[in-house]
Amino acid sequence: MEQNHIKKLIESAFSVRGLAYAPYSGFSVGAALLAADGRVFCGCNIENAAFSPSICAERAAISQAISAGCREFAAVAVCGGPMERGAGEIDYCYPCGLCRQVLMEFCPPELPVYVARSAGDYRRHRLVDLLPHAFSAADLSGGGVGGCGC
């Protein structure tokens, strides 16, 4: 992926981060999911007073994509931190375990995951490295080697 495309994807994540609804944690997160066809789906975290109904930015982005009929993805960028801190002032923010599992459902294991402090300061990981031995549809049919047993 070209450097300027990565930068634009990260900038999209930072842009949607500004829309986060996080009155309880004060921790705002933005995610920008690049579809294989070039579309970008963005999401921010949306908290709830009951906590359980809260949704992370990554799952908000993938929900938008799936709802738009898009199921092929090329990359995702994530940024997050305390609301009052902007680009360059936040640390790298990784997808939570739940989001990693949801991303794995729809994305290739090699999907680049960019976690960014700013558009020019980011780390690149492969999804499979963030969620090794993921539970998948193959496990349901007995074809996998994993399985959570729940």
Nearest to 32 by CA among 17, 19, 46, 18: 17
The single residue of 58, 89, 105, 110 carrying the catalytic annotation is 58
- What region, left, alpha or beta, does residue 121 occupy, with left being phi > 0 and alpha being psi -120 to 50 degrees? beta
Does position 130 interact with Zn ion (CB under 5 A)? The reply is no
Does position 105 interact with Zn ion (CB under 5 A)? The reply is no
Per CB under 5 A, the list member of 20, 22, 44, 56 interacting with Zn ion is 56
The piece of 3-11, 49-57, 64-72, 108-116 that touches Zn ion (CB under 5 A) is 49-57
CA 60, chain centre distance (Å): 9
Does position 116 interact with Zn ion (CB under 5 A)? The reply is no
* Binding site residues, Zn ion, CB under 5 A: 56, 96, 99
